[in-house]
Structure 1
Amino acid sequence: MKIISGKFKSRNIIINKKNKVRPTTNLMKKVLFEWLSKYIKKSKCLDCFCGSASLSIEAISRNAKCVTSLEKNFYLYKNILKNIKKLSIKNINVINVNALKWLNRYGKPYDIIFLDPPFNNNIINNIIILLKKNNWTKKNTIVYLENIKKKNIYIPKNWKNIKKKNIGQTIGKLYLVKN
C-alpha cells in the first residue's frame, strides 16, 4: 500500500496479509484527504481502529501535527510500529488497546477523528456515544466515518454531515461537530 500524497508520497506501508485487515481503499483515501485538505494542517488527530495505520500515516504525510492511533490487534500494532520506524515518523502515538476501553474515560478533544471500524462489528454506535460523552470532540471537530451502506448508525444531533461518498458497498461520510 502506498501513501498517496504529502512528504511521504509514494512510500510503501507494509501490511502482513495474514492479519485480516481491510484498509481504506486508495480511492476512498484520496477522496477523504481532498475533503480534509483545509482542516488537516497542524491538526491533532485520533484514529480509533487504525489497522494498517494508513489513515494515520497519510494524515502525518499531509502535515497533521500529531496522531493517536488505537489498535487492539497486537500483530497489527507491531506492524504499525515497524512502518512508522521505517518512515522515521515521531508524531504518531500508537497504542495497543481496545478503542472502547480507551475512550471510556474523560479525554481531551481532537480536531479530526477517523472511525473506520471492522465492517462486521457493531461497536461503532458505542464508540460514537463515548466520543460525545467523554469530551473527545469539541465544536468544529471533524469526524470521518467509513462503513457499509446498510448499517444503521447513531449520529448525534450536533454532528452535521458535510460530505458523503459511496464506493461499491462502502460509504464514507464527513461530519462537522457543531457544539
Structure 2
Amino acid sequence: MRIIAGAHKGLTLASVGKGDAGAHLRPTTDRVRESLFNLLINGGYGDPISDARVLDLFAGTGALGLEALSRGAAHVTFVDDGAKSRALIRENIEKCRAMGVTKLFRRDATRLGLNRGAGFNLIFLDPPYGKGLGERALASAFEGGWIADEALIIWEESAEIAVPDDLALLDQRKYGDTKIAILRAD
C-alpha cells in the first residue's frame, strides 16, 4: 500500500499483507483508491478534497484519510475500535508526519456519541463487509452532528448499498467484489 498522489506521493504505508480477518482489516487496494480519488476529482463534485475536514470511519490502516490529506485535506479524524487498526493508523500518521492535522479515536463507529467540533464535509465509510454496520454508523454520525450539510460520503461495501432517506446517491461503481457509492447529505 502506498499514497497514490499529492504531497506524500509514493510513500509506502504500513501493510497488513492480505488483511487480518480476525481484526476485520481489509485494506482498500491502491487500484481502487486511485479510481475512487480520480472519480472524486473529475466527477463533477467541485473540489471535495482541498481544505476538507475528513472523517474516516472504520479507518483500518487510515489509507483513505491519509490519501485525502496528501491531496490537500485540512484535517482527518480516524475512528476505529480495533487495537491492530489503531497501531497501523498511528504508524501511518507518523510516516506522513501528520500528527498536527489528524486525530485518532478509539471508538465504535456505530456509537459515535456527540461531536464537539465542526461537522465533517468528506466522510469515508468502509465497514466490515456484510454486517450492516454502515447503516448504523451513518445513523450515529448524523445523530451526533458529525456530518456537515451537503457532505460527500464515500461508502465501500461488498453488497448492494441501501441509501438512507436523508442521502442522495450521486454515483455507484463496482471494482471486483467492492462496491463504492458516492452520496451527498441533504
Q: Which whole-Å CA distance do the structure 1 matches of 2:140 and 2:52 have between them?
A: 21
Q: TM-score, normalised by structure 1?
A: 0.89
Q: Which runs of 5+ in 1 are unaligned?
A: none
Partner of 1:176: 184
Q: Is the 8 A contact 1:19 1:75 kept in 2?
A: no
1:35 equivalent among 39, 43, 65: 39
Q: TM-score, normalised by structure 2?
A: 0.86
Matched, 1:51 2:52: no
Q: Which whole-Å CA distance do the structure 2 matches of 1:22 and 1:10 have between them?
A: 21
Superposed, which structure 2 residues align to 1:1-179 within 5 Å?
1-17=1-17, 19-20=20-21, 21-37=25-41, 38-90=47-99, 91-101=101-111, 103-107=112-116, 108-150=118-160, 153=162, 155-178=163-186
Q: Deviations over 1:20-67 (max 9, x none)?
A: 311112222112212332210000010011101110110100010000
| Structural RMSD (CA) | 1.8
Q: Which whole-Å CA distance do the structure 2 matches of 1:100 and 1:158 have between them?
A: 17
Q: Which whole-Å CA distance do the structure 1 matches of 2:6 and 2:66 have between them?
A: 10
Q: Is the 8 A contact 2:61 2:92 kept in 1?
A: no
Q: Is the 8 A contact 1:109 1:137 kept in 2?
A: yes
